[in-house]
């Protein structure tokens, strides 16, 4: 898991889902905590301390982490009871769909006439300004 891949994945999903400022702040706060803990698989952090450090109410924190979980950016297990911390896991980005290589021939193989990029949307009129 690469930090730059996590950033790119977050912003790609943000283009699709328009995360709120609290969701964005929570995700990057968790990335910071994960980095400080040397990328342990699960990070334990108390809800009250998280809401105080991320500067959001407990209800907003719960809503934000639910939305991040549904976006498959993180997973968490809610701590229950006194002194039981919530466990967070930063999920690795799913591989993006790979686009096929843009393979456009520049010559017509049957007539051996150059098409001057017509397959690429370039219009060749013979002018010097093309």
Domain boundaries, the chain: 3-90
Q: What is the pLDDT of residue 2?
A: 87
The overall average pLDDT reported for the chain is 83
- Angle at CA of residue 40, ends 39 and 45, nearest 5°: 105
- Angle at CA of residue 74, ends 68 and 77, nearest 5°: 100
Considering only CA atoms, which of 101, 96, 88 is closest in space to residue 16?
A: 96
* CATH domain 3-90 topology: Arc Repressor Mutant, subunit A (1.10.10)
Per-residue pLDDT in tens (0 to 9) along the chain, 130 residues: 789 999 999 999 999 999 999 999 999 999 999 999 999 999 999 999 999 999 999 999 999 999 999 999 999 999 876 688 999 999 999 876 555 555 555 555 555 555 555 555 555 566 666 5
Q: What is the pLDDT of residue 95?
A: 77
pTM (2 d.p.): 0.71
Contact 40, 34 (CB under 8 A): yes
Going through the chain in order, the beta strands assigned E by DSSP cover 43-45, 74-77, 86-90
What's the token pair of residue 80? 């229950």
**21-36 and 3-17 helices, crossing angle to 10°:** 170
């Amino acid at each position: 898991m690469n930090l730059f891949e996590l950033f790119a994945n977050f912003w790609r999903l943000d283009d699709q889902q328009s995360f709120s400022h609290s969701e964005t702040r929570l995700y990057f706060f968790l990335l910071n905590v994960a980095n400080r803990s040397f990328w342990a698989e699960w990070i334990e952090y108390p809800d009250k301390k998280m809401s105080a450090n991320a500067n959001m109410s407990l209800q907003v924190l719960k809503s934000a982490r639910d939305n991040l979980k549904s976006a498959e950016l993180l997973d968490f297990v809610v701590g229950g009871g006194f002194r039981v911390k919530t466990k967070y896991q930063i999920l690795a980005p799913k591989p993006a769909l790979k686009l096929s290589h843009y393979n456009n021939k520049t010559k017509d193989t049957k007539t051996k006439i150059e098409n001057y990029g017509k397959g690429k949307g370039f219009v060749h009129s013979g002018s010097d300004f093309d």
